[in-house]
Amino acid sequence: MKIIEVLLITITLSISYIITADYSILYRLSRVTVVNIGLANIILSILGMSFIIYRYYKATEKLNEELRKISEIDGLTGAYNRMFFDQSLKDLVEDILEENKSSSKINFEIAIIDIDDFKRINDIYGHIVGDSVLKKVVEIMKESTSSKDLVCRYGGEEFAILFFKSSRRRVLKAIRDIRVGIEDYEFDFNDKSIKGHVTVSIGLAGFEDFYNNDPLTILNLADQRLYQAKNKGKNKVVSS
């Protein structure tokens, strides 16, 4: 594409030079012919510049999209990052409080999910295996949730899911599918075909647990319930 741009510019400048040169053969042509050549030169110049502007517009658009992804997406797992999750939750709560002060008709849930004994996987099998586990866990989460739900990598091996306008029944089913799906999946732990299983502990909180107009109260409660699940033996869901 850069070569095409240079050729268009070269052709345009060459035609301009031919037209303006005193010895140019164009001065022996009819006035109509010269005018037509001039018009063709103008059209070619406009098309060339339009093409170049369009190319740089598309390049800028692509760069902006890549920057947006960098600012929103976790590079390893493809889940949303914590900054985007926190901002989305803040915006959601603000919208809810502006539209309706009553929480009776509001239904969103937050799940905090932590991979049990993940450090042990990294220590025994290495970080490459650990990374593959993180990627697969996110894949299972996305398969078990809807496109409107927000799956986020919240920390190293900790994830958060924001369920939008979902009934408690659907959320509990999704959470169960995630827990069971991860527990049942056989992970490859090294090149010698050693396979193993991974479990997760999950804490769940909803808008009914929200108070003081502070979204952190929901997150903190979900986090507390996560540690309750850990203390109860791991591979569990605590939702109340």
pLDDT value, residue 25: 57
Catalytic residues: 157
110 DSSP β-pair partners:
162, 205
Looking at residue 228, its pLDDT comes to 95
Residue ranges making up the domain that contains 176? 82-238
Identify whether residues 184 and 206 lie together within a single domain.
yes
In a domain, 34, yes or no: yes
pTM: 0.71
pLDDT score, position 153: 95
Q: How high is the pLDDT of residue 48?
A: 75
Q: Which residues of 176-202 are buried (b: 16+ CB within 10 A; e: fewer)?
A: eebbebbeeeebebeeeeeeeebebbb
Q: What is the pLDDT of residues 150-190, one digit of tens each?
A: 999 998 899 999 998 778 888 999 999 999 999 999 998 87
Segments of the chain scoring below 70 in pLDDT: 1-2, 5, 15-31, 34, 66-69, 97, 99-107, 191-192, 208-215
**Residue 131 sits in a domain of what CATH number?**
3.30.70.270
Q: How many residues in total does the chain contain?
A: 240
The answer to whether residues 89 and 18 belong to one domain is: no
pLDDT at 110: 92
Please tell me whether residues 116 and 27 are part of one structural domain: no
